């Protein structure tokens, strides 16, 4: 069917593999690390907004 060609994008791979695939490990991000990362980005944006606001005044 037409969706067989899309299987490579959704983890199905091809029906006849031509090269062996390698598996790489990816570090996981837990909820506390994710929340900390979001807080850092939000703080940087707030600081940039405040610096820009003070320069205009």
Helix ranges restricted to H, the chain: 31-56
pLDDT at 43: 97
pLDDT at residue 38 in the model: 95
Q: Which of 48, 44, 26, 47 is nearest to 36 (CA)?
A: 44
Q: What is the pTM of this model?
A: 0.49
pLDDT in tens, 1-57: 555 565 656 665 555 556 666 777 877 888 899 999 999 999 999 999 999 999 997
DSSP state of 23: -
Dihedral pair phi/psi, residue 24, rounded to 5°: -115, 145
pLDDT of res. 36: 94
């Amino acid at each position: 069917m037409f969706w067989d060609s899309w299987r490579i994008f959704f983890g199905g791979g091809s029906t006849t593999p031509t090269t062996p695939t390698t598996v790489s490990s990816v570090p996981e991000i837990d909820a506390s690390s994710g929340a900390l990362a979001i807080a850092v980005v939000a703080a940087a944006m707030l600081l940039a907004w405040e610096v820009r606001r003070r320069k205009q005044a």
